[in-house]
Chains A and B, each alone.
Chain A
């Protein structure tokens, strides 16, 4: 986690998908301080979206810890704009929606995920196991 789930009407080519995933990873890590190995981005196409939208991203992110409503909204807007730049879609053609999950509800690396901001010890522990 996070998992960024992207749906588009039309397929994006591989280079654009890879560049978009990289941009999302950069933005997510810069704004939240999360490590990039947490960031998953998946793409699906052939999804007829609501009128006026060419791409929709829904993201499941860890909530709590050092994340407040302002940071979450900043992240949502930055993700939408970053995707717009890599795909060429206008910002208003991209919808971005974030859903917050308690970290304690998920497991990765064989351990319950750390609270946002407490990743360092978790990473050290799970990588040295």
Chain B
């Protein structure tokens, strides 16, 4: 299973729009990357916890995993299509949306470095947080979304 880590700002994108965006990500991923299931993890940062260009951030950061040696032409097609649809839904300007399609070896480095900096208790807390969000998402039929503060 591939993963996508998405960071958005609290109170900027409604739950309904997040569900719509999640559907669009899955659609474009199937079209441009492959049929492998993509697990999307939505991190909603509380106000005042993100900054871009010195100011409180209004940016969305979407980092998705793809196979190694992924063709650049397909990557550009994927990012271009998703960026266009994302901004249609959110109304953000082009400089408020950063997307990356990262090959699996480097993506694993990113994912693991976030775990490896934690103590054993910290890792357990992180697993429990993601797991509880996963259960809630399954029960409500919504994307996996959580506040990244533990």
Query: A residues near B, CB below 8 A?
Result: 1, 3, 5, 7, 11, 14, 17-18, 21-22, 25, 36-51, 53, 56, 58, 60, 95, 97, 99, 101, 104-110, 112, 126, 129
Among the stretches B25-33, B34-42, B100-108, the one at the interface with A is B100-108
How many A-B residue contacts, CB cutoff 8 Å? 130
Q: Do residues A40 and B50 form an inter-chain contact, with CB atoms below 8 A?
A: yes
Q: How far is the CA of A42 from the CA of B110 in the complex (A)?
A: 15
Q: How many residues of B contact A (CB 8 A)?
A: 43
Question: Does B3 make an interface contact (CB < 8 A)?
Answer: no
Per DSSP, are chain B's interface residues mostly helix, strand or loop, or mixed?
mixed
Closest chain B residue to A9, Cβ basis:
B122
Which of chain A's residues have a CB closer than 8 A to the CB of B45? 42, 44
Nearest Cβ distance between residue A4 and chain B, in whole angstroms?
A: 9
Q: How far is the CA of A28 from the CA of B119 in the complex (A)?
A: 28
Q: Do residues A17 and B117 form an inter-chain contact, with CB atoms below 8 A?
A: no
Which of chain A's residues have a CB closer than 8 A to the CB of B53? 25, 36-39
Closest chain B residue to A22, Cβ basis:
B54
Closest chain B residue to A35, Cβ basis:
B53
Question: Does B149 make an interface contact (CB < 8 A)?
Answer: yes
Q: Do residues A104 and B119 form an inter-chain contact, with CB atoms below 8 A?
A: no
Question: Does B121 make an interface contact (CB < 8 A)?
Answer: yes
Among the stretches B12-20, B91-99, B131-139, the one at the interface with A is B91-99
Q: Do residues A107 and B83 form an inter-chain contact, with CB atoms below 8 A?
A: yes
The contact sample of 29 A-B pairs, CB cut-off 8 A, is A3-B98, A5-B114, A7-B117, A37-B52, A37-B95, A40-B59, A41-B50, A41-B51, A41-B52, A44-B45, A46-B125, A47-B117, A49-B122, A56-B117, A58-B110, A60-B100, A99-B113, A105-B100, A106-B99, A106-B100, A106-B101, A107-B83, A108-B94, A109-B94, A110-B83, A110-B94, A112-B76, A112-B79, A129-B94
